Homo-oligomer: A and B are copies of this chain.
Amino acid sequence: MALVVQKYGGSSVENAERVKRVAERIVATRKAGNDVVVVVSAMGDTTDELLDLAAEITPVPDPRELDMLVSSGERISMAVLAMAIDNLGFQARSYTGSQAGVITTSAHGDARIIDVTPGRIRTAIDEGYITIVQGFQGISQDTKDITTLGRGGSDTTAVALAAALEADVCEIYTDVDGVYTADPRIVPNAKHIQNITFEETLEMAACGAKILHLRSVEYARRYNMPLHVRSSYSNKTGTMVAGYMEDLTVEQALISGVAHDRSEAKITLTNVPDKPGAAAAIFQIIADNEIDIDMIVQNVATAGNGHTDISFSLPKKDGHTATAALKKAKDRVGFEKVIYDEHIGKVSLIGAGMRSHPGVTATFCRALAEAGVNIEIISTSEIRISVVCRDTELDTAVRAVHDAFELGGDEEAVVYAGTGR
């Protein structure tokens, strides 16, 4: 008898009808001879509705109380899911993050899991219950307060719980049937990926692929917990995220796929003094505002005037804060202008096979050139190449790279509507 942890996102349980369908799927897994532990997100737009309510009360809600408020969303979904399973003649029990032993830091709204002590869940499994655990939520180690885990929190709950229970697999149900070589809405013949390593999946997630959240994949990699990403609307096998890159043979190492990202902006500072400490001063200002920057380019100082331009990309949502902070420091740092540009896109090629195949960068750049896409920033890692271009050219760039590496299949990919959480 295997132990399967299943995670269902908000769109999979957005109304009573869908909750019943998820219940049937859970019962089917059980009937197939498995122990089942389920992690569930809040129903549909519940979380947004709760945030709207908080906004009606105060523009800056207390973080502790906001966690108390929004955690009620997953409480509702897990209770009704347990009822629906019960109604099918199987015994189900729901548990809060606290009851399930999900111990976190006390950073309200963005808590990290410190430990999972699933004693009650273990007992419930042994007593034959299908157990349901509230996603996205835990209890702080120091203050014993309710915390939430931030974006992608339910995925992280599922993976952490699966690791603590030594489950055989953690199934992540979403509205697509796995990871594709590119977004099928942009590349119609994008191919379904059957197997991919943790590291490649991490790079995909970091480069804008929306299937899995970075933190949950990091957790899976740390505990070597295989993730099966699959659709809650079909029984098709999804994508298996498992294994480490270092264990791949040269033959297994491939180019996995193309990711893209429209969520970033670019800031360019002109005529920065080309002397030690100038770049450090700039990035200290960004760090002081708790902004994560992604790619950085510093041009060589031209024609001996002792000045250079520095460009970097950052999340659009932080654009205003960064621009304002930099303008304030203009005279102190000694640059000329802050240029803010929201109209950029980023295309990335990811694959463990890159390490052993020279010439990938050349092929990548040639494909973009032939498609007429101008490269503004380029950065590489061991298994990734990323390029910033105009946002209007992003779709063309994705298709050009996908074609150049012959990633496409013979069939058109099936895309489902809806969004996960």
What residues of chain A have their CB less than 8 Å away from a CB belonging to chain B? Answer: 16, 19-20, 50, 53-54, 56-58, 60-62, 64-66, 68-69, 71-72, 75-76, 78-80, 82-84, 86-87, 92-94, 96, 99, 120, 144, 146
What are 9 A-to-B residue pairs whose CB atoms are below 8 Å? A20-B57, A58-B83, A60-B87, A62-B86, A64-B93, A68-B79, A69-B75, A71-B75, A72-B79
Q: Which residue of chain B is the closest to A88 with respect to CB atoms?
A: B58
Residue of A61, A68, A86 with most partner-chain B CB within 10 A = A68
How far apart are the CA atoms of A61 and B82 in the complex, in Å? 9
- With both beta carbons as reference points, the residue of chain B lying nearest to A56 in the complex is identified as B16
Report the bound CA distance from A78 to B96 in whole Å: 18
The listed residue (B16, B65, B75) touching A57 by CB distance below 8 A is B16
Chain B nearest Cβ from A235, distance in angstroms: 23
Cβ–Cβ contact B57 & A83, under 8 A: yes
**Distance of A94 Cα from B83 Cα, bound (Å):** 28
Copies in the assembly, this chain:
2
CB atoms of A65 and B82 under 8 A apart? yes
| Contact, CB under 8 Å: B79 / A58 | no
Q: State in angstroms the CA–CA spacing of A84 and B50 once bound together.
A: 14
Contact between chains at B68 and A84 (CB < 8 Å): no
The residue that A94 contacts in the complex, of B20, B53, B68, B87, with Cβ under 8 A, is: B68
Q: Are A75 and B78 in contact (CB under 8 A)?
A: no
- Which chain B residues border A60 with CB–CB below 8 Å? 87
| Given A57-B83, A72-B79, 13 more pairs with CB closer than 8 A | A16-B57, A57-B87, A58-B86, A62-B83, A62-B86, A65-B82, A65-B86, A66-B79, A68-B94, A69-B75, A72-B76, A96-B146, A99-B144
